[in-house]
């Protein structure tokens, strides 16, 4: 059995680790509250913006608006992959990377030339290690993300799509559903796909015209889609980190309890041996 001193030293080490993971869990919880609030606000804005665009899109406008153009065949595509800059968040990044690589493979299987735009240290490091070509490799997005970051993601891609040099743009990000569900998802950003309205649209007085307003709103819609993805991913990252750190803290507490029991048994054995030695020595002196 290990000496009680060695076990006590190990207990201190585990306890220090537990304090660190507990602190990181609390920090992630605080950041998650703020990120969750931003996600909720952005979803309402996106919903209203979508409703307005649904009321403006007509089959005639869909044929002339560049961002609504449906190509006959996707010959050149872009995949934008989001990940985190920091780790300690469980399988968060591995799920995003796996989904992103699957989307690239899907475009490739369909015969499309695909370029990969990667944001976040973890995904960039993975691609460099695997020697996967990247059209973009950056880790300087804001924390929390802003509209400028969204413009960085899709601004140039939208211009290239409008002039016909790209046929499709997909965004891979983490969807924040709740504290424990943050699955990686793929969203088609371009061409813009607007579902038919689920209710009767209100009557709008349009000035100057429907096509003029739609031409101004569609780039905003694309940028806002990227912004929403950034906010969702930021919230999902904090949720994943909170879950991972809570699991680490719980495991440390369980291990600490096991070490305490082992320490008590070792200490009891040492005391028993010391008592036996004292009794043996006293008996020898009497003889």
Report the candidate in 125, 95, 45 with the shortest Cα–Cα distance to residue 236. 95
Please answer whether residues 182 and 176 qualify as being in contact, where contact means their C-beta atoms are separated by less than 8 angstroms: yes
Which pTM was predicted?
Answer: 0.85
**How many C-beta atoms lie closer than 10 Å to residue 233's C-beta?**
29
Q: Which domains does the chain have, with CATH numbers?
A: 4-22+244-286 (1.10.287), 28-241 (3.40.1380.10)
For residue 111, the cross-strand partners are none
Question: What number is the average pLDDT over the span 225-235?
Answer: 95
Question: What number is the average pLDDT over the span 38-66?
Answer: 86
Question: What number is the average pLDDT over the span 72-97?
Answer: 93
Let me know if 254 is exposed, middle or buried by CB neighbors in 10 A (0-12, 13-18, 19+).
exposed
CA dist., res. 246 & res. 23, Å (int):
10
Most confident of 121-135, 141-155, 182-196, 248-262: 121-135
CA dist., res. 232 & res. 235, Å (int):
5
| DSSP sequence for 57-69 | --HHHHHH-GGG-
| pLDDT score, position 246 | 94
pLDDT at 2 > cutoff 70: no
CA dist., res. 203 & res. 155, Å (int):
31
Confidence of residue 199 (pLDDT cuts 50, 70, 90): low
Question: What number is the average pLDDT over the span 42-65?
Answer: 84
pLDDT at 70 > cutoff 80: yes
pLDDT at 200 > cutoff 70: no
Tokens linked to 271: 């005391």
| pLDDT score, position 236 | 96
Confidence of residue 197 (pLDDT cuts 50, 70, 90): low
Confidence of residue 60 (pLDDT cuts 50, 70, 90): confident
In a 3-state reduction of DSSP, which class is residue 84?
Answer: coil
Residue with the larger pLDDT of the pair 197 and 20: 20
Average pLDDT, the chain: 88
For the segment 93-152, what is each residue's pLDDT rounded down to a tens digit? 999 999 999 999 999 999 999 999 999 999 999 999 999 999 999 999 888 899 999 999
Question: What number is the average pLDDT over the span 5-26?
Answer: 90
């Amino acid at each position: 059995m290990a000496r009680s001193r060695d076990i006590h030293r190990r207990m201190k080490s585990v306890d220090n680790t537990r304090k660190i993971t507990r602190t990181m869990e609390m920090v992630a919880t605080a950041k998650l509250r703020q990120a969750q609030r931003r996600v909720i606000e952005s979803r309402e804005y996106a919903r209203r913006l979508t409703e307005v665009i649904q009321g403006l899109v007509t089959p005639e406008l869909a044929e002339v608006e560049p961002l609504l153009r449906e190509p006959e065949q996707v010959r050149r595509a872009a995949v934008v992959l989001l990940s985190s800059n920091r780790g300690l968040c469980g399988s968060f990044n591995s799920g995003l990377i796996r989904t992103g690589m699957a989307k690239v493979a899907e475009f490739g299987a369909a015969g499309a030339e695909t370029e990969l735009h990667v944001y976040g240290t973890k995904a960039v490091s993975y691609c460099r290690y695997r020697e996967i070509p990247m059209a973009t490799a950056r880790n300087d997005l804001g924390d929390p993300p802003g509209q400028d970051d969204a413009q960085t993601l899709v601004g140039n891609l939208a211009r290239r799509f409008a002039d016909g040099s790209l046929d499709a743009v997909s965004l891979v990000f983490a969807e924040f559903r709740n504290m424990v569900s943050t699955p990686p998802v793929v969203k088609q950003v371009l061409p813009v796909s607007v579902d038919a309205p689920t209710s009767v649209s209100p009557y709008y007085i349009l000035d100057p015209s429907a096509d003029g307003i739609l031409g101004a709103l569609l780039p905003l819609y694309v940028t806002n889609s990227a912004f929403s993805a950034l906010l969702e991913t930021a919230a999902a990252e904090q949720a994943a980190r909170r879950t991972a750190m809570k699991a680490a803290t719980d495991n440390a507490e369980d291990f600490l309890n096991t070490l305490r029991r082992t320490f008590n048994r070792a200490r009891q054995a040492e005391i028993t041996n010391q008592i036996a030695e004292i009794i043996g020595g006293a008996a020898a002196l009497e003889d």
